[in-house]
A and B are shown apart, each in its own frame.
Chain A
Amino acid sequence: MKKFISGNEAVVEGALIAGCTFYAGYPITPSSEIASHLSVRLPQIGGKFIQMEDEIGSLAACIGASLCGHKVMTATSGPGLSLMLENVGMAIMAEVPCVIVDVQRGGPSTGLATKVGQGDMQQVRWGSHGGYPIIAMTPSTIEEVVKFTIEAFNLAEIYRVPVFVMTDKVIAQLREDVDLDSLQNYPITNRKIAGSSEEFLPYRAETVTDVPAMSPFGGPHLVRASSTTHDQHGRPTSDPEKIAFKNERLFRKIQDNSDSICQYQSDLMPEAEALVVSFGISARSSLQAVAEARAAGKKVNFLKLLTFWPFPDKAVQDAARGVKKVIVPELNWGQAAVEVERVLGSQIDVIRINKTNGLIIQPEEILEKL
């Protein structure tokens, strides 16, 4: 049966299908409905919901619960995300699966609490100090919000990393029909658990792409987890070889698997002259602009990014093959465009459509450039 649900509700449905049993968060517009719904739903299934004193504590509590074997999530918006960033680095370093939903609003600073924006895309990539790879999903339909929230949990479990689901104020409140019944059978992945008989090393890895098996706090092994650079035992280390191995592994476990992580939809046509690359709410405007352009006889390719990080370089290259211009509409000053430019070099003209006035991009604004 189809249900008419909002983007924020879709996050909740996706999380529950994925097996989320712990939520910690702090109120912030326009994400707060996610917390409200989970405060109803989690106690019903015996899960845990806690409203923390701030976003810093929220992500910290999530990490603690995840180390005990739970699937965890928090949701926020720009200002809250800024506060969380230190512990994003903590989750990266300690290798703790968690899902962070960022319902983007207009910025900078407290900015536009009730208006749309897409200005956090580079922040999630580079925001925490020290450098690390990240996975971020950018669904643009409500059904995709459900699916990619589930995917976010799966990827967090597979790679032991924080994964971002990036929506925005408009998607959060937009309602569409979603067949939740059929999504109940969506494939679910759980973290690799260390066998109870073997000698347990919390960060056991043979190669630089390995993801160590976990053992929950309170389970069969004594567990050490640490935000400080550590060896395979979880002990702080100053040995350059061990440091290099750990840091390269943090990077390569994601980088080397980019192809299997990246998801996108590309709608290509022969002899296309232009390409539109977009994501999230701006992909919806783009979709309509592309349809209208094609109806008017123009040959246009369309690439919708569902994984923004790792950035799908290859998909962009393929979609841009032979075109004369690439148009990148987004609600910020070019955070996707800089990636497209990086991928394509100077061979193709990249036209930016940027809007930061709290409104979405209209299809006509894209059509003008096609």
Chain B
Amino acid sequence: MARPPIDYLYYLRAEKLPHMWCPGCGIGILVKSIIGAVDELGWDKNDIAFVSGIGCTSRAPGYMDMNTLHTTHGRALSFATGIKMVRPEKHVIVISGDGDATAIGGNHFIHAARRNIDITMIINNNNIYGMTGGQFSPTTPYGARAATSPHGNIDPAFDLVELAKGAGASFVARGSVDNARMLQKFVKDGLAHHGFSCIEALTNCHTQFGRRNKMSDPIKMIDWIADKTVSINKAKRMEAAELEGKILTGVFHNDPDKLEYTDSYAQMVERVQAKKAK
């Protein structure tokens, strides 16, 4: 049976609309995919804590009708860690931009992943600092222009999938806004995963990134994203030369058996209390 259409307004704070994002901004597609995923999972809004830091992406919780916490730049995962530690039964979601998550928040990111605490980290990777005016971020491609790399970016970029995997995340996926259904599927699987899940969403900031890199129109940027991405399944059938410069999308790591941090803590408490009772 077909699912009934999603009542998006049920998940949004209508009084906060219209939103502050630029028309055509990729964050909209990502937020839609999050709502879709939550709706598919049938979660109660009150069981969700949606946490963010600072930046265009971090404005998302402000529009969501859930428990929301808007915090300082880069630190969302640490606030979320405190929430998850004392409310392990709740769903804790963090949404973060590439700068928020991996520059100022890089330390918290790798350590939350290392603990494998059951938080879903959704990174809106648009390769730029949008809100502050288009400075290059840790994921800006080599050579790209930004407000602070007018001669072309010379900073090497992070591969967020490798970073998350290396740090210990137990679910790692990358989707992109040109394939919203796949993106929603990854978000849903990440939310349902027990352990630290990281979903990287490749999105368009045509206003700050595109404008400086000959793609000021959102469609152009989404085409650019579509053109440079290849799903891991398709990539298996492609030659190395064809894959040159492509970015893979898909689920790169999924280990549902890895010990989750709050479970591990609960086990420790049980051991301590059993010993004390003796």
A50 to B49, CA, bound (A): 20
Within 8 Å CB of A48, what residues of B?
85-86, 265
Across the two chains, which residue of chain A brings its CB closest to B109?
A: A53
Q: Are B82 and A63 in contact (CB under 8 A)?
A: yes
Interface status of A227 (Cβ within 8 A of chain B)? yes
Interface status of B249 (Cβ within 8 A of chain A)? no
Interface hit among B35-43, B215-223, B267-275:
B267-275
Within 8 Å CB of B66, what residues of A?
222
Give me the 4 closest cross-chain CB pairs, A-B, nearest first: A64-B82, A60-B78, A61-B82, A57-B78
A129 to B16, CA, bound (A): 28
Task: Out of B70, B90, B269, name the residue touching A226 (CB < 8 Å).
Answer: B70
Could you pull out 17 A-B pairs where Cβ atoms are within 8 angstroms? A44-B276, A50-B81, A53-B110, A57-B77, A60-B79, A61-B78, A64-B83, A68-B87, A87-B72, A90-B71, A90-B72, A94-B69, A217-B87, A222-B65, A224-B67, A227-B71, A228-B70
Per-residue interface assignment for chain A, residues 50 to 89, with 1 indicating a CB less than 8 Å from any chain B CB and 0 otherwise: 1011101110111111111110100000000000001100
Across the two chains, which residue of chain A brings its CB closest to B261?
A: A50
Minimum CB–CB distance for B86 against chain A, Å: 5
A22 to B262, CA, bound (A): 14
A68 to B70, CA, bound (A): 15
Give the number of chain A interface residues (Cβ < 8 Å): 42
Across the two chains, which residue of chain A brings its CB closest to B271?
A: A43
Q: Are A222 and B85 in contact (CB under 8 A)?
A: no
A83 to B137, CA, bound (A): 23
Task: Out of A54, A60, A222, name the residue touching B67 (CB < 8 Å).
Answer: A222
Minimum CB–CB distance for B128 against chain A, Å: 22
A52 to B78, CA, bound (A): 8
- Interface range on chain B (Cβ under 8 Å from partner): 35 or more
Q: Are B45 and A222 in contact (CB under 8 A)?
A: yes
A94 to B68, CA, bound (A): 12
- Known A87-B75, A218-B47, A218-B67; 10 more pairs at CB < 8 Å: A22-B85, A60-B75, A61-B81, A61-B82, A63-B79, A64-B80, A222-B46, A222-B66, A224-B69, A235-B16
A87 to B76, CA, bound (A): 11
A50 to B269, CA, bound (A): 13
Within 8 Å CB of A94, what residues of B?
69, 71
Within 8 Å CB of B82, what residues of A?
22, 24, 50, 60-68, 72
A50 to B45, CA, bound (A): 27
Across the two chains, which residue of chain A brings its CB closest to B71?
A: A227
Minimum CB–CB distance for B87 against chain A, Å: 5
Q: Are B111 and A218 in contact (CB under 8 A)?
A: no
Across the two chains, which residue of chain B brings its CB closest to A57?
A: B78
A60 to B84, CA, bound (A): 12
Task: Out of B16, B49, B72, name the residue touching A218 (CB < 8 Å).
Answer: B49
Q: Are B85 and A50 in contact (CB under 8 A)?
A: yes
Q: Are A65 and B67 in contact (CB under 8 A)?
A: no
Interface status of B107 (Cβ within 8 A of chain A)? yes
Q: Are B272 and A44 in contact (CB under 8 A)?
A: yes
A48 to B82, CA, bound (A): 9
Per-residue interface assignment for chain A, residues 28 to 63, with 1 indicating a CB less than 8 Å from any chain B CB and 0 otherwise: 000000000000000110101010111011101111
Within 8 Å CB of B110, what residues of A?
53
Within 8 Å CB of B46, what residues of A?
218, 222
Minimum CB–CB distance for A193 against chain B, Å: 16
Interface status of B253 (Cβ within 8 A of chain A)? no
Per-residue interface assignment for chain A, residues 307 to 320, with 1 indicating a CB less than 8 Å from any chain B CB and 0 otherwise: 00000000000000
Q: Given contacts A218-B49, A222-B65, is CB(A60)–CB(B265) below 8 Å?
A: no
Interface residues in A208-235 by Cβ distance below 8 A to B read: 217-218, 222-228, 234-235
A46 to B70, CA, bound (A): 28
Interface status of A236 (Cβ within 8 A of chain B)? yes
Q: Are B86 and A68 in contact (CB under 8 A)?
A: yes
Interface status of B211 (Cβ within 8 A of chain A)? no
Within 8 Å CB of A65, what residues of B?
82-83, 85-86
Q: Are A225 and B70 in contact (CB under 8 A)?
A: yes
Within 8 Å CB of B212, what residues of A?
none
Interface residues in A292-316 by Cβ distance below 8 A to B read: none
